[in-house]
Structure 1
Amino acid sequence: MLNDQGDWTEKDERAIHDEEKFIESLIENKSGLYLQSQLDRQDKLIEEARQKLDKKLIQRKELLGNTCEEYAEKRCIDLYIIKSFFYDIDWQKPVFTQETFDELSGKDLADVSYVYNNLFTVYKDENFQKMVLEDFYGPYMQCCEKPIDFFGKATTMLTHYQLRLYSYTRMFKSILESPEEIPFAIKKDPQKLIDWARNPKGREKAREVMEKAGDGGAGLFGATKEDLQQLGVESSAGTVSLEEAAKKKGGKLTMKDLMKLSGI
């Protein structure tokens, strides 16, 4: 019906699909980047694309109204809220039953949802990752080989959030134990640390380009000083921009010049 009225067409639906594919390609392409400045620019593109996609999804939701999927999701969230409030610390006296929860007024429901959302915002993956990288957490990494050693419980007895914390502890412990020196500037940044760990071949390629350039070479094309520091590369060749290289060549660059700048 929306298609017949022109409010939401197949073109709009394709736009959502294309944007999702575009975001996937941006994320996949990060694996081929090795300069932090390049990764930062890629992250910015991903964030902009996600915001554009979110606007489209909100627009579609407003036009479609309450679908079966959204109703099922809402009822699922309602169940989470019901199971999260208790009168006692032993979790034996629930505040709500399904019936009493369904009878809440709009204002009361908004208040309960606000408390619930505020509480569980703390348990975002990003916060778990940041906590694991804090100095105080170091000793806990030494006992994360098995869940029983970490929590004193079997895996089947752990909550979803405990499993997430354990998973990130294992992951970052593995990264931090890398024989390669990790740049100090990224040791407390979860996303940059993950990007760094995913691309050892890229760093090796960058070093090869710098070595090939030598003292008289052009350096690593497009790299900033911060990029070189994070790569652990020191060279008198330094960094080169297109503008700087063009000035040295009288304002013009040939294909051969560009290939040399790229280390080809």
Structure 2
Amino acid sequence: MKIATFNVNGINGRLPVLLKWLNECEPDVVCLQELKAPNEKFPADELERAGYGAVWHGQKSWNGVAILARDMVPIETRRGLPGEPGDNHSRYIEAAIDGIVIGCIYLPNGNPAPGAKFDYKLRWFERLTAYAAELLALEVPVVLAGDYNVMPTDLDVYAPERWRDDALFRPEVRTAFHELVAQGWIDALRHLHPDERVYTFWKYFRNAFARDAGLRIDHFLVSPALARGLNQAKVDRTVRGWDHASDHAPAWIELNKSK
């Protein structure tokens, strides 16, 4: 099973890019972030014609997450994280697909830091960590995929010294990520590429993509049972170079469920 994550940075404006990539990559499951579209503007018909059923949690102009499944409609199991009833940001959706629970995550950016946005990011991380522990306790196959807006280590950023005070790299955020992983999750891409500089995001400014001045902020956390069947973890970085591309490249993992 090939499971992908892709921050599309506006699903309707970049729909041709998404459809082209779906046709070329043929993932079985896709977690999308930053839809930047209300629920009624989600392009469900176009995706269905491309062979994908979907569940989505939209929001006008900002945020938004969705899960696609090839040749089936995902069974939605949760919309939004528990723990803060007043939080109306569309940042988490979850579905069951072929016996696996898929959580799609768009964690807050948190800048400027310190400040209210950074505080919200840390609270959101705490809520995610608490809920992830509940998922692990169920002892079912789980993948938590998406844009975590964190570079866990110096290896995940092209120039660590320039990012020390950024909300994506501050020690509080990296600590939160490591505490989440320490529950028993496997960081799939880093597990298979322990010493490589692998990036998933390049800014639009200062020719970042051509210089390979990137960040690894899109992650797959895989529950222990699934990790035994982890075959591949890759980034389709060429997509970042397409016309009208997102500033993220899609990433994917391949699981052999029979192991």
TM-score by length of 1: 0.23
TM-score by length of 2: 0.23
More helix by share: 1
More strand by share: 2
Higher relative contact order (CA 8 A, sep 6+): 2
Q: Compare CA radii of gyration and give the structure with the larger one.
A: 1
